[in-house]
Amino acid sequence: MGRRILLSTALVGAATLVPVSPAPAANPTPDTRQQQYAAAAAEYGVPASVLLAVSYLESRWDTNAGTPSTSAGYGPMHLTDAKYVNSLGEPHYGPQEDPRGDDSRAPLHAAEPAVNPPADAALQTLDAAAAVTGSGKEVLRSDTTANVRGGAALLASYQKQIGAPVGADTDPAAWYGSVARYSGSDSTDSAASFADEVYATIRTGAARTTDDGQRVTLAARNVTPQKSWLDKLGLRKVTRAYGVECPEELACESIPAPYQLLGDGTDPEYYGNHDLSDRPARQKIEYIVIHDTEETYARTLELVQDPAYVSWHYTMRSSDGHTAQHVRTKDVAWQAGNWYINAKSIGIEHEGFARQGTWYTETMYRTSAKLVGYLAKKFDIPLDRQHIIGHDNVPGTIPSTVRGMHWDPGPYWDWSHYFDLLKAPFHGTGTPATGLVTMDPDFASNRPAFWGCQLDEKGNPTSEPCPLRGSSSVILHSAPSQDAPLVKDAGLHPDGSPSTMEASDHGARASTGQTYAIADRQGDWTAIWYLGQKAWFYNPASAPVAKWATGFVVTPKPGKATIPVYGRAYPEAAAYPPGAPYQTLQPLQYTLSAGQRYAVGLVAPSEFYKAYTFAGTFPGDWTVIRGEMQYVQIQFGHRIMFVNSDDVDIRPSAVGTPS
């Protein structure tokens, strides 16, 4: 998806703020981030623990290079300025792939509905912060001291507005209502979910070094919030719809994607916008696919409710983690651009913009991790990067679709932090002799110099550098040198040219949590097998970007010089019953040669879910066709791919490892 930013969600906060008279600042020029929080808390009469915890839930205390979040928030306190972000007028990449990813049916490139103008009541807390602090808007967006003061002033003003006590020494428990309002939520369930997470952070404490090198600590404190203050906010009450598939502690609602005939309603093959099924009874759900919306939350909801558009299972709002379910998990959404993956996955959209490099809020990371943990447990999906994948890890189906596949959530999604929240952190399980590496760079300090985050008037990426920010991407070179060209991706660059540092070009990138087979080592450099070639990354022992791992690898069977690599695991021709069109086993444009090794993700059955007509009109529809073939999912490049198990030997990774 994607057009221009339209931050049009009307959220709470339009009421007149109560002026706050700051106390004399004990330290008017605080030197450290910790002192900035302490000074702002004292100045505006907010308990320091509340201010720190709210900021942690917004930004993890990071500055994010002064750039906006996916919901137009700036700085550690996530002061929102939707009007300013809208004024930037930056376009985004549009849909290229067929989201259904089933070339046995007519291509699906749904036209997007017309863009609605943004509403006046948008995410605009920065205006209020400017009014109560006297600081200019640009200062509040770019200066961390002013930004923290602005957040403290807003909390104090919210507190006064509901008649609650104000003062740095007041009981943090009495600030529950103001914390809930700070989320910007317009409903009690979402506001309470945010506030509950803030108070959970106060109870557990937190400490980390921010993206600009500041050490900040929140000491643990046992606080039981006074939740009755929530009633003073006057938010709308939401009754949870029966059957919504979310953990109880999340604020979830049902906004169904339409399933209906299109046109004049007479063609059973012309319908939208998803397919019915009966998973996991009909097919095992193997994957959860992480997307970003490339649209605002409000716009995304408009799109998924269009019967002629496409679908996904869930959408998450950046500002407060509020979640909407659109498609039942038993059914197949048209979301990942690969029908085999679609039929065996759940797709979750996160409000965000991959190309811009906008950052994702902590509250959305946490909400998403809770939902994914719930779904993984429900459907027995392993919590690893072979099963929890980005849209950018989904392979093209056939050679012609590879270049058009989407690349969200992009290089700025923090996979390491995400898996920490899933309670499945990446651990080293081996040594240099065990044959595998799992990528795990330090997100904050790993800042590749990407370009092309901005597009020109024709929609082409410009050469302007992207803001330097933390990334999950490890850059891969064709030789052990920073000056060596990047490795090649024949699917993205069919002319044979090397990959680039353009934001969407992941042809020379490995990502956090992905595991690869070691191909070679020279000094501080490690090589992995990647898209049929040795790919080198800088991996010094003093600051490693990968962990040694152990597991299993595939290599071509003896006597096979090369073997085909596939983007889907479809059955052999003999498996298809009469009347069911055979899905050609067309390999991708890559080469897997003898002597190369690739990490095993899972052994996959050959399956094709035949879902051609509305409500299963034709006989034999809604049938899973299974064959005798088996596939092995491998980490072949940035994307997962498949090889025929008859073409490979599976062996322990330590066997034949390069010294």
Mean pLDDT of 189-212: 96
Distance of CA 210 to the CA centre of its chain: 20
CA distances in angstroms from 140 to 36, 134, 159, 218, listed in the order given:
14, 10, 21, 23
> Residue 232's CB: how many other CB atoms inside 10 A?
17
Q: Give the Cα separation of 395 and 384 in Å (integer).
A: 18
Mean pLDDT of 47-69: 96
Handedness of CA 497, 461, 138, 218 (dihedral sign): negative
Q: Give the Cα separation of 273 and 408 in Å (integer).
A: 21
- In a domain? residue 465: no
Mean pLDDT of 83-89: 77
Specify whether the CB–CB gap between 210 and 216 falls below 8 A.
yes
Q: Residue 23: its pLDDT value, please?
A: 55
Please determine, for residue 63, whether its predicted confidence score (pLDDT) is greater than 80: yes
pLDDT digits (tens, 9 = 90+) for 559-592: 999 999 999 999 999 999 998 889 999 999 999 9
- Looking at 184, 215, 233, which one is the last position of a domain? 233
Q: Residue 438: its pLDDT value, please?
A: 98
Please determine, for residue 82, whether its predicted confidence score (pLDDT) is greater than 90: no
Q: Residue 85: its pLDDT value, please?
A: 82
- In a domain? residue 277: no
Comparing C-alpha atoms, which of 232, 213, 251, 203 is closest to residue 53? 203
pLDDT digits (tens, 9 = 90+) for 264-276: 999 999 999 999 9
Q: Residue 18: its pLDDT value, please?
A: 61
DSSP 98-145: -TT--TTS----PPPPPPPPPPSS-S-HHHHHHHHH---HHHHHH-HH
Specify whether the CB–CB gap between 447 and 470 falls below 8 A.
yes
Structure tokens that stand for 167 in this block: 């003062």
Strand-pair partners of 527: 520, 536
| Residue 160: its H or E element | helix 144-161
Amino acid in position 305: Q
Q: What are phi and psi of 345, to 5 degrees?
A: -145, 165
**Count of helices and strands (H, E) across the chain:** 12, 28
Helix/strand/coil percent split, the chain, to 5: 25, 20, 55
Please determine, for residue 13, whether its predicted confidence score (pLDDT) is greater than 50: no
Order of all β-strands in the sheet with 436-439:
533-538, 525-530, 515-522, 436-439, 546-549
Q: Give the Cα separation of 588 and 591 in Å (integer).
A: 8
Q: Residue 24: its pLDDT value, please?
A: 53
- Looking at 167, 200, 233, which one is the last position of a domain? 233
Mean pLDDT of 297-326: 95
- In a domain? residue 493: no
Q: What are phi and psi of 370, to 5 degrees?
A: -65, -40
Specify whether the CB–CB gap between 30 and 39 falls below 8 A.
yes
Q: Number of structural domains, the chain?
A: 2
State the pLDDT confidence band at 28, using cuts at 50, 70 and 90. Answer: low
- In a domain? residue 635: yes
- In a domain? residue 268: no
pLDDT digits (tens, 9 = 90+) for 409-457: 999 999 999 999 999 999 999 999 999 999 999 999 999 999 998 878 8
**CB neighbour burial string for 47-74, b if at least 16 within 10 angstroms, e if fewer:** bbbbbbbbbbbbbbbbbbbebbbbbbbb
- In a domain? residue 15: no
Q: Residue 460: its pLDDT value, please?
A: 82
Residues in the chain: 659
Mean pLDDT of 524-542: 97
Percent of the chain with pLDDT over 70: 92
CATH no. for residue 225? Answer: 1.10.530.10
**Model pTM above 0.75:** yes
- Helices 188-204 & 362-379, crossing angle to 10 degrees? 100
- In a domain? residue 525: no
Domain limits for position 641: 562-652
Distance of CA 160 to the CA centre of its chain: 37
Mean pLDDT of 119-128: 69
Please determine, for residue 527, whether its predicted confidence score (pLDDT) is greater than 60: yes
- Cis? peptide before 393, omega within 30° of 0: no
Mean pLDDT of 346-372: 91
If DSSP codes are grouped into helix, strand and coil, which group holds residue 195?
A: helix
Average pLDDT of the chain is 91
State the pLDDT confidence band at 619, using cuts at 50, 70 and 90. Answer: confident
- The owner of tokens 């917004």 is 58
Q: Residue 120: its pLDDT value, please?
A: 36
Please determine, for residue 89, whether its predicted confidence score (pLDDT) is greater than 70: no
Structure tokens that stand for 146 in this block: 């002013």
DSSP 497-565: PBP--BTT--TTEEETT-EEEEEEEETTEEEEEETTEEEEEE--TTS-SEEEE--EEEEEPTT-SEE--
- In a domain? residue 620: yes
If DSSP codes are grouped into helix, strand and coil, which group holds residue 321?
A: coil
- Looking at 177, 207, 233, which one is the last position of a domain? 233
Specify whether the CB–CB gap between 510 and 473 falls below 8 A.
yes
pLDDT digits (tens, 9 = 90+) for 329-341: 999 999 999 999 9
Lowest mean pLDDT among 89-103, 132-146, 317-331: 89-103
